[in-house]
């Protein structure tokens, strides 16, 4: 098997066994990036010299016994809204086009401690605001299965890079589905942990009560291993949670005999309760996956999940309100972009923000400022918080009966480039299956469960109760074993992207 097509854990084991060196692995992935980037644009920054230096250091540490973990020497990538010391971090925005952090995010620090070799920073929707990875100031990312289509967002660069074998795995961030939805569109596996499981220290904030860092990889075991490496309590993050155990790889068992799996009937009824546009291909693939799990011994049944139609409006009110506050710091006085022409402090702020932010970011800042303004705070923002509590209660009731909730990751497969940007409301509605997990702080995993009639991947989403990552990992692993491996060679070949 080609180095770049190996799962991360297999590659790590071969590096540990001295069959491949960390430097050889880094060189192979860097060559793949060079071959693919013209057509995919999955990276904003590629740190070739730094990656090779880190690979040499990792190899030395492996040889002298300092590094013994499963990810030592394995090349990876980091979403461009996660701080990396000394390495450009732009958030896909002109506003931070020259920002080089003085420190690394805690998740990055833990990856480096595990010996992973960071190759560069992946492209994304600007400030993580988007569902297609087209709002980046540095140009759109393209789907490696068909470059006329989007990879999803906002972690589209991470998902596309993993699918096209430009890295063994990547870190993404998930505010309303930004790991799971692009993983579904790109046919890879993405895991959003329970809120507070992975430190948000060093993650550039979009909506602080919803954001969470997680892994994107080509299979379930790799995602579990990466989550095990980056999850920890961190006193630097006030929302970080202390957990009893972080041994997520122990749940990699091909067994669902005792699992109760629920499928929200609301999610499968297109046009009802605000869930619109569910394609027949996606519905059939999800129901087929449910049947597979049933055949393996799980108890599977449909149920009614209340308040689904309120999830998207509640999410966008809360997320945009928090975004309007978090993005107020970008004013041209401290760091990042500053306008070249201004008369006074007010015009400095106004012109810097007008020139530095893209259209989608401005739209969400204005919406957020509106719902927080006097006269509308009670009518919109407080009401959205009440709906958030009702959604959490609905999930609590569901998880009293089920261990795992099964759903699509998106109503359709990846749309064509340009389709979503012309209709922002339709783009927002495409998040219907993912935003609820963020509102309730739940863990979720997405993995491929088939292809549509156009040959584009279909994503299957599994949600668990808070801190129940092990159950969704076990269910996902069992399905993955039944489904068989995905052939990523078509995505990784240069001619596939032409």
Report, as residue numbers or ranges, the catalytic residues. Answer: 79, 154, 178
Q: Which two tokens stand for residue 48?
A: 């070739």
What dihedral do alpha carbons 308, 311, 314, 318 form, nearest 10°? 150
Of 82, 7, 72, 1, nearest to 45 by C-alpha is 82
Contacts of 421 (CB under 8 A, 6+ apart): 132, 134, 135, 427
Of 220, 179, 214, nearest to 199 by C-alpha is 214
> Is the backbone of residue 252 left (phi > 0), alpha (psi -120 to 50) or beta?
beta
Residue 461: CB atoms within 10 Å: 29
Decide: helix, strand or coil at residue 126.
Answer: helix
167 touches 144 (CB < 8 A): no
Contacts of 422 (CB under 8 A, 6+ apart): none
Q: What does the alpha-carbon distance between residue 206 and residue 211 come to, in Å, rounded to a whole number? A: 7
User: Dmax over Cα atoms in the chain, in whole Å?
Assistant: 70
User: What percentage of the chain's residues is helix, strand, coil (to nearest 5)?
Assistant: 45, 15, 40
What Å distances lie between residue 313 and 176, 274, 304, 367, 380, CA to CA? 12, 10, 20, 12, 10
């Amino acid at each position: 098997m080609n180095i770049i097509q190996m799962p991360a854990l297999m590659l790590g084991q071969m590096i540990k066994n001295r069959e491949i060196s960390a430097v050889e692995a880094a060189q192979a992935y860097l060559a793949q990036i060079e071959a693919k980037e013209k057509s995919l644009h999955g990276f904003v920054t590629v740190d070739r010299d730094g990656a090779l230096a880190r690979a040499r250091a990792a190899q030395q540490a492996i040889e002298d016994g300092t590094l013994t973990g499963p990810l030592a020497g394995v090349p990876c990538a980091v979403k461009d809204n996660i701080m990396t010391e000394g390495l450009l971090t732009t958030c896909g925005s002109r506003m931070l086009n020259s920002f080089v952090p003085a420190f690394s995010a805690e998740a990055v620090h833990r990856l480096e401690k595990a010996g992973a070799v960071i190759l560069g920073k992946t492209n994304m929707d600007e400030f993580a605001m988007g569902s297609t990875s087209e709002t980046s100031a540095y140009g759109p990312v393209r789907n490696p299965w068909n470059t006329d289509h989007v990879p999803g967002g906002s972690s589209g660069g991470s998902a596309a890079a993993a699918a096209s074998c430009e890295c063994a795995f990547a870190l993404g961030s998930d505010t309303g589905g930004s790991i799971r939805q692009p993983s579904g569109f790109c046919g890879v596996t993405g895991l959003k942990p329970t809120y507070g499981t992975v430190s948000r220290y060093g993650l550039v904030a979009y909506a602080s009560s919803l954001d969470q860092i997680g892994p994107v990889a080509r299979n379930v075991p790799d995602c579990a291993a990466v989550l095990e490496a980056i999850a920890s309590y961190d006193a630097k993050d006030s929302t970080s949670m202390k957990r009893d155990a972080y041994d997520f790889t122990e749940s990699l068992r091909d067994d669902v005999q005792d699992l109760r799996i629920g499928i929200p009937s609301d999610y499968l009824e297109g046009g009802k309760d605000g869930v619109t546009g569910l394609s027949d291909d996606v519905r059939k693939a999800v129901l087929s996956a449910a049947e597979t799990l049933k055949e393996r011994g799980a108890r599977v049944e449909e149920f009614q999940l209340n308040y689904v139609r309120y999830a998207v409006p509640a999410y966008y009110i809360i997320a945009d309100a928090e975004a309007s506050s978090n993005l107020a710091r970008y004013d041209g006085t401290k760091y990042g972009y500053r306008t070249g022409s201004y008369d006074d402090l007010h015009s400095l702020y106004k012109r810097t923000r007008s020139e530095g932010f893209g259209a989608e970011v401005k739209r969400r800042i204005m919406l957020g400022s509106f719902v927080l303004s006097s006269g509308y705070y009670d009518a919109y923002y407080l009401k959205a918080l009440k709906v958030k509590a009702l959604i959490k209660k609905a999930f609590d009731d569901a998880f009293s009966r089920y261990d795992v909730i099964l759903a699509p990751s998106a109503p359709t497969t990846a749309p064509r480039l340009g389709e979503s940007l012309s209709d922002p409301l339709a783009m927002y509605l495409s998040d219907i299956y993912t935003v609820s997990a963020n509102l309730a702080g739940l863990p979720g995993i997405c993995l491929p469960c088939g292809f549509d009639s156009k040959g584009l991947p279909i994503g299957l989403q599994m949600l668990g109760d808070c801190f129940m990552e092990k159950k969704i990992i076990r269910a996902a692993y069992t399905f993955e074993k039944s489904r068989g491996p995905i052939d990523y060679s078509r995505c990784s070949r240069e001619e596939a992207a032409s």
